[in-house]
């Protein structure tokens, strides 16, 4: 039986790959993006199995309208994929206020509003899954990505809460965490004028690595898209799914260090108890 998907950010990267693969296997896709004409080739090939709508997820009112329209047009949506994203590559001092707002509005608030718009429909139909695209940077950090991390750590906390709340309704939620992958995302990162004070700091080192191609991209985008599709087909999907050799290693190291530090404070934590 064909599955129906609602996916944000489908003009390129994982969103485009997912849309192509799903249509090729016979599924229906509600694809949203800022320029719907970017999918004209897929519409010509797959006809009414591809439903498209113009959407910038920072437009909260339109998010709710487009989600409502998709469910009305398709009757049911089995999987909602929050994929639209934006990145700012700058130290915390370098980024402009407008850049900070855009990354938070897209990655955090945009994703939140897609979930909020979809939930009434998913509850009414009594089933569904939400896949939230995060990153290794949703649990660990790298210099120059502070505002991106703020958005991804925020959406992971939100989704972990939502997963508990919606489980009784037969709705599942999984956070997928792709690692560094050649999808074009790095080339689309928003940047800011460089402050010379940061040249000889970790922020400067990462900036130079990205500029000279030394920043590794060890993962395969096609394989990650396939793993996301397999996830939706899984009878027992996890809350989080690392998708990348770097994701696994970096998140493992971050969690191990955090747990070690946490355990070192056991005595003082217990010392402030009221009894």
Catalytic residues: 134, 148, 152
Integer-rounded Cα Rg, in Å, for the chain is 20
Q: Which DSSP state fits 180?
A: S
User: Using an 8 Å Cβ cutoff, are 188 and 87 in contact?
Assistant: yes
How many angstroms separate the Cα of 42 from the Cα of each of 48, 58, 95, 161, 256?
A: 10, 25, 37, 36, 44
The number of residues in the chain equals 275
Q: Which residues contact 228 (CB under 8 A, 6 or more apart)?
A: 14, 18, 81, 131, 176, 243
Six-digit token pair at 7? 């996916």
Between CA 187 and CA 215 the distance in angstroms is 12
């Amino acid at each position: 039986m064909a599955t129906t998907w609602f996916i944000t950010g489908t003009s390129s990267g994982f969103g485009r790959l997912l849309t192509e693969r799903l249509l090729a296997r016979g599924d229906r896709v509600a694809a949203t993006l800022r320029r719907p004409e970017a999918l004209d080739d897929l519409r010509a090939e797959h006809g009414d199995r591809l439903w498209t709508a113009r959407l910038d997820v920072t437009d909260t009112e339109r998010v709710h309208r487009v989600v409502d329209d998709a469910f009305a047009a398709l009757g049911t949506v089995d999987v909602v994929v929050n994929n639209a994203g934006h990145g700012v590559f700058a130290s915390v001092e370098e980024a402009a206020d407008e850049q900070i707002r855009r990354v938070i509005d897209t990655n955090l608030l945009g994703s939140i509003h897609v979930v909020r718009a979809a939930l009434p429909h998913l509850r009414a139909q009594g089933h569904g899954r939400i896949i939230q695209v995060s990153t290794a940077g949703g649990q660990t950090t790298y210099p120059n990505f502070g505002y991106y991390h703020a958005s991804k750590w925020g959406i992971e906390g939100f989704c972990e809460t939502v997963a508990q709340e919606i489980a009784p309704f037969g709705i599942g939620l999984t956070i997928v965490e792709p690692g560094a992958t050649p999808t074009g995302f790095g080339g689309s990162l928003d940047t800011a004028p460089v402050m010379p004070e940061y040249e000889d700091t970790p922020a400067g080192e990462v900036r130079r690595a990205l500029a000279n191609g030394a920043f590794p991209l060890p993962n395969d985008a096609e394989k990650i898209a396939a793993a996301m599709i397999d996830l939706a087909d899984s009878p027992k999907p996890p809350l989080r799914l690392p998708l990348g050799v770097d994701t696994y290693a970096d998140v493992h190291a971050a969690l191990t260090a955090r747990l070690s530090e946490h355990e070192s404070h056991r005595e003082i934590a217990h010392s402030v108890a009221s009894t």
